[in-house]
Amino acid sequence: MTSRRCASSMRVDTSARPSAVFVAVPGAGALLAAAGIPRARRELQPHVTVLWPFLPARRLDRAALDRLAGALASRRAFRASFSTIGHFPGVVYLAPDDPAPFVALTEAVAAAWPEHPPYEGAYDEVVPHLTIGGGEVDERRLRDLLPLTADVDAVSVGVQRRFFGWRTVTRVPLSAS
């Protein structure tokens, strides 16, 4: 069995700002642009959240990132499709056709950090979703562009910037299928 380490090309912020574990969804940015959803409305690249809030940025050291890689070691890369538009209050999102692989990622990371439950324990059930905007989304235009299909081969960790948005600090590869 090969040991997997996460590759970080950026220095981790040493502040108390929160971090998040997420899956970047390849191709989603192009789909949202084609649907007329401006990039400026999105703080982080199109993604499905795995665990938020995660550790404060100052705690994202090599040991924590290796622990994350260990928690995800048995998780395999997968193909995800999004063909359904869903809604939360004030939010429009794309729902994965099969949420199970995303739920498994959340369960694996949350089990390794039980002191950091998803969404601070606010919800009984985590609903994997790719947030695309608020009520201003032209859903008919978006629906015409679906489905979105993407190969998911890594989980990322992002840190909230001081003024706006997030930056990705590392990616943890998932096992080859």
Task: Give the tens place of pLDDT for each residue, 3-41.
Answer: 444 555 445 444 678 899 999 999 999 999 899 887 655
Contacts of 29 (CB under 8 A, 6+ apart): 39, 45, 46
What is the distance between the terminal CA atoms of the chain, rounded to a whole angstrom? 15
**174 falls within a domain:** no
**2 falls within a domain:** no
Backbone angles phi, psi at 29, to 5 degrees: -60, -45
Domain containing 106 equals: 19-162
Domain count, the chain: 1
The CATH number for 154's domain is 3.90.1140.10
- Select from 102, 113, 25 the least CA-distant residue to 65: 113
Tell me the pLDDT tens digit for each residue of 149-172.
Answer: 999 999 999 998 877 788 899 999
